[in-house]
Structure 1
Amino acid sequence: MLDWLEIVLRGLLFLVVLFAITKWLGKKQLSQLSFFEYVTGITIGSIGAEVVTGLERNIMHGIIGILTFAAVPFLAGLLSLKSKKFRDFMEGKGVILIKDGKVMEENLKKERYTTDELLELLRQKDVFKVADVEFAILEATGDLSVLLKKENQALTPKDLNMKVASAKEPQTVIMDGEILDEPLATIGRSRNWLHTELDKLGVTVENVFLGQVDSFGQVTVDLFDDKLEVPAPQEMPLLLASMKKCQADLEMFALGTEAKEAKSMYEKNSERLQAVIDKVEHILKS
């Protein structure tokens, strides 16, 4: 067999082997690598490259070598699940770099980080002032976890004692001009309903590059033609406007009647509807 052809065949074989091993070891190999896993990955790649191009070598020896280095992190992962000491040794532990707004210089030197590097990591977390930080921990993966002081944290509905509706994952119902039936079924909608919503927006399925439905049943679309503008969904603003109109009508009815019972009924229902509007207005405006 020609040398170049054998290299091509070996390359394809080892691509399949390495892909299968990576899938077996899990997603962590692609994101949060420990020092041990990083070294193992380099070694596996080196073995694969050597066997692919080294025509004098036995191909099975290369596969055995790769499987050996793949098995080691797999077994180390099993031991890490059972022993915290082993896990801390292999994967490392988080180190506090900032505490109560003060930089822990000794820990910074121990991890061989400069002040500029620390500030860069903080900026990646949208933090520009060290004094605003309650805790900053350098994780074993090299990521910096930052907890701002309470007064510097963004307000949440819970802080304001506000109840908000839970939001579900938006469902992609149109992709590349084709309707996806499974996401539609997940939210309990039909193709006819989707076509009706698209008619409201003045678009057709064929013109939609990406279409999604949010947890409130609103359809948003991205068209193939970026020059065309699609109006924003109006269901929620229209619902809010209708509720306000009903509340105003109830107040007007209360002022326009002389019957005490009717006046009392209109006033009570107007107050109830206003209370509902106050609770949902921030949702329907968003």
Structure 2
Amino acid sequence: MPQWLDVALRSISFLVVLFVITKIIGKRQISQLSFFEYITGITIGSIAAEVSTVRERSVVDGLIAIIVWGLIPLLAGYLALKSKSIRGVIDGKSTIFIKDGKVLEDNLKKEKYTIDELLSLLRKKDIFSIADVEYAVLEQDGSLNALLKKDKRPLTRSDLQLTPINEKEPHTIIMDGRLLHDALAESGKTKEWLNEQLETAGVSLENVFIGQINAYGELHVDLFDDLLQPAAPQERPLLLANLKKFVADMESFALATDCPKTKKMYATNAKAVQMIIQKTKPYLQT
């Protein structure tokens, strides 16, 4: 067998093996490598490269080595789930860098971090003043999480004592000009509704690069042709306009009637709807 063909076959074979091993180990091997997993990944890659290019190396020996090194993270992960002490050894422990607004210099030295590196990590969190930080911790994967002081945090609905809103996740129902029927069914919408929305926007299904249904049940589309601008959804502005018209009608009816009971009913309903408008106006405006 020619050398180039042997190397190509070895490389393809080990690529498949590495793909399978990575799938078995799990996504964490890719997204959040611990120090232990980092060493394992480098070693497996080195073994695969060595056996792929050096014809004198046995393919069987290489496969055995890769399987053994692939099983090690699985075993270590299982032991880490069962024991907190083992988990601390394998994954490491988080280190507090800032507590009660004060920098812990000893912990910085322990992790071999300088103050410049700490400031750099804070800037990546959009924090430019260390005086704004109440608490900061270096996680096992090397990322820094910081808690701002109370007066430096953005306002939330709970701070304003407003009713919490649970938004639903968006559903991608169109991709590359093709309708995703399962996603459309999960969104609770029908194909007839979609056709009506596309017609209102003045676009066809084939021209849509990606289409999503947002938390308000509206269709947002991005077209292949960036020069075209589809019509914006009008459901929320139309609902707001109808609510305002309802209030105006109730007030008009209250002025037109001479019956005190009826006049009071119209005024009460107008006031109730007006309160609803005040609460929902930020969400109904586009």
* TM-score bin (small chain): over 0.9
Q: Which aligned pairs between 1:69-84 and structure 2 lie closer than 5 A?
A: 69-84=69-84
- Output the CA distance in 1 between the equivalents of 2:282 and 2:163: 10
Q: CA offset at residue 260 of structure 1?
A: 0.8
1:231 aligned residue: 231
2:215 aligned residue: 215
Q: Which runs of 5+ in 2 are unaligned?
A: none
Q: CA offset at residue 164 of structure 1?
A: 4.2
What is the aligned residue count? 286
SS at the partner of 1:30? helix
- Output the CA distance in 2 between the equivalents of 1:151 and 1:231: 41
Q: Is the 2:200–2:231 Cα contact (8 Å) retained in structure 1? A: no
Report the identity percentage: 53
Q: CA offset at residue 274 of structure 1?
A: 1.4
2:180 aligned residue: 180
Q: CA offset at residue 279 of structure 1?
A: 2.3
**CA deviation string 1:256-282 (max 9, x = no partner):** 322211111101111111122222222
- Output the CA distance in 1 between the equivalents of 2:118 and 2:11: 42
1:103 aligned residue: 103
Q: CA offset at residue 225 of structure 1?
A: 0.5
- Output the CA distance in 2 between the equivalents of 1:47 and 1:160: 58
SS at the partner of 1:222? strand
Q: CA offset at residue 191 of structure 1?
A: 1.5
- Output the CA distance in 2 between the equivalents of 1:23 and 1:199: 43
Question: Counterpart of 1:217 in structure 2: which amino acid?
Answer: G
SS at the partner of 2:97? strand
1:265 aligned residue: 265
1:254 aligned residue: 254
Q: CA offset at residue 165 of structure 1?
A: 3.5
Q: CA offset at residue 150 of structure 1?
A: 1.2
**CA deviation string 1:176-219 (max 9, x = no partner):** 11111111111222212101001111111111101111122100
Q: Which aligned pairs between 1:122-133 and structure 2 lie closer than 5 A?
A: 122-133=122-133
**CA deviation string 1:86-118 (max 9, x = no partner):** 111111111111112221111111111111211
Given the alignment of the two structures, is residue 138 of structure 1 paired with residue 125 of structure 2, yes or no? no
1:202 aligned residue: 202
Q: TM-score, normalised by structure 1?
A: 0.97
Q: Is the 1:164–1:283 Cα contact (8 Å) retained in structure 2? A: no
Q: TM-score, normalised by structure 2?
A: 0.97
Question: Counterpart of 1:56 in structure 2: which amino acid?
Answer: E
1:90 aligned residue: 90
The structure-2 alpha-carbon separation of the partners of 1:200 and 1:164, relative to structure 1 and needing over 3 Å to count, comes to farther
- Output the CA distance in 1 between the equivalents of 2:258 and 2:279: 31
1:163 aligned residue: 163
Q: Is the 1:21–1:70 Cα contact (8 Å) retained in structure 2? A: yes
Q: CA offset at residue 40 of structure 1?
A: 0.8
2:29 aligned residue: 29
Question: Counterpart of 2:58 in structure 1: which amino acid?
Answer: N
Question: Counterpart of 2:224 in structure 1: which amino acid?
Answer: F
- Output the CA distance in 1 between the equivalents of 2:212 and 2:227: 20
- Output the CA distance in 2 between the equivalents of 1:60 and 1:45: 16
SS at the partner of 1:245? helix
1:279 aligned residue: 279
Question: Counterpart of 2:8 in structure 1: which amino acid?
Answer: V
Q: Is the 1:97–1:137 Cα contact (8 Å) retained in structure 2? A: yes
2:20 aligned residue: 20
Q: Is the 1:33–1:141 Cα contact (8 Å) retained in structure 2? A: yes
Question: Counterpart of 1:280 in structure 2: which amino acid?
Answer: T
SS at the partner of 2:68? helix
SS at the partner of 2:217? coil
- Output the CA distance in 1 between the equivalents of 2:19 and 2:278: 55
Q: Which runs of 5+ in 1 are unaligned?
A: none
